[in-house]
Amino acid sequence: MARRRLTEQQKNRIAKIQEQRRRRAADAADQALAGATTANEQMGRVVVRHGRSLLLRTDCGRDVHAMFRANLGEVVCGDRVLWQQTSNDEGIVTAVQPRTTALSRPDYNGQDKAIAANITQLVVVLAVRPEPAGYLLDQYLVAAERIGVTGLICLNKMDLLHDDERTVFRARFAPYVKIGYPVIEISAKADHGLDPLLERLRGQTSILVGQSGVGKSSLINAVIPRGNVLEGQLSDATGLGRHTTSAATLYDLHSGGELIDSPGVRSFRLGSVSRAELARGYREFLPYLGRCRFHNCAHVNEPGCAVLAAAQHGDIAAARIESYQHLLAETNAGE
């Protein structure tokens, strides 16, 4: 009996010691793992992505090439990431930080795909050539309102216009000035009018968007010393850009702020957007929303529509109402 009791006690003690050892070992492994990851992990900013490979800018301003695994999801220009160095100028991305904002557009499957992340300002670049495509500006402004970033309109290639033509071109954008969007006229090629723009870019992460060939990359080259971005030629046949930017790329501005060049588009499609979201994307509609006779008013032809009444009084530009209704029909925005 006595002998057997002793054995029980011994067994218990041995089990307890083993359990302690296991726990210590597990803790040590955890600590080692944590030490290994945090010690080597660094923050970086995605400058540009080509397929599965990224160019990162480290916190100390060094550029490194890094790969990322598919299980991280999509990683885009402007993303803040954690990465580990694998060799001198190479690394691997281990985590993507949550984004504050993302500009996206639907891919060929209709799925929203991010173009750039953590932007604070959307600069829509327009020019007299190529002729501004219908509704493109308004679509970008709706996108800016939806993601909560500042919208800015930049009219480039003003050098191509005589004084009287300038007046005509400028007048097309007067309704936007009235509703609070800054309109800045520049000539990227002539280094003209860049200071007021640079002032607006200071302290912001801005993305240049717009049609192919309006001069986004030329603007980058004008404001980034040694930017050396490839510029396109306007095709004589189509009047559109050729030889164009293929991936969104982030540049640091000496005067402060970051500027992202993005591939030009022929058209920009708003992703899935509800009718209410679309209406809120027209910022001058805001004071009238919720004041229509019908709570689910689409602001198309309903009686007692406060938005249409404001348009009739000239408080909302007719062109903006027309563009809202066009996009409403085009996006099939539900209630």
Ligand X SMILES: Nc1nc2c(ncn2[C@@H]2O[C@H](COP(=O)(O)OP(=O)(O)OP(=O)(O)O)[C@@H](O)[C@H]2O)c(=O)[nH]1
Which of Mg ion, ligand X, Zn ion, none is residue 323 near (CB under 5 to 8 Å by kind)?
none
CA distance 215 to 155: 10
Report the sign of the C-alpha dihedral through residues 261, 266, 268, 269, in that order. Answer: negative
CA–CA separation, 84 and 94 (whole Å): 7
Annotate each residue in 83-122 with x if it binds Mg ion (CB under 5 A) or - if it does not, as one string. ----------------------------------------
Closer to Zn ion by Cβ: residue 209 or 292 = 292
**Would you put residue 290 in left (φ > 0), alpha (ψ -120 to 50) or beta?**
left
Q: How far is the CB of 231 from ligand X (least distance, A)?
A: 4
Phi-psi region of 299 (alpha: psi -120 to 50; beta: other; left: phi over 0): left
Binding mask 138-167 for Zn ion (x = CB under 5 A): ------------------------------
Whether 238 and 209 have beta carbons less than 8 Å apart is answered as no
> What's the min distance (Å) between Cβ of 157 and ligand X?
4
| Smallest distance from ligand X to CB 194, Å | 10
Q: Which token pair is 170?
A: 């400028």
CB 259 within 8 A of CB 206: yes
Shortest distance, position 215 Cβ to ligand X, whole Å: 3
Nearer to ligand X, 101 or 218 (CB): 218
Residue 76 beta carbon to ligand X: minimum distance, rounded to whole angstroms: 17
Task: Say how far apart CA 128 and CA 147 lie, in whole Å.
Answer: 28
Residues 325, 331, 334, 335, CA torsion sign: negative
Give min distance, CB of 136 to Zn ion, in A: 25
Among 205, 217, 249, 323, binds Mg ion (CB under 5 A): 217
User: By C-beta, is 141 or 306 nearer to Zn ion?
Assistant: 306
Nearer to Mg ion, 81 or 248 (CB): 248
Q: Convert residues 219-258 into a mask of x (bound to Mg ion by CB under 5 A) and - (unbound).
A: --------------------------x-------------
Closest Cα partner for 267 from 119, 115, 138, 129? 138
Binding mask 285-304 for Zn ion (x = CB under 5 A): -------x----x-x-----
The answer to whether residue 128 forms part of the interface with Zn ion (CB under 5 A) is: no
* 305 binds Zn ion per the rule CB under 5 A: yes
Cis peptide before 130 (omega within 30 of 0): yes
Q: Considering beta carbons, is residue 234 or 308 the nearer one to ligand X?
A: 234
Contacts of 167 (CB under 8 A, 6+ apart): none
Binding site for Zn ion (CB under 5 A): 292, 297, 299, 305, 307
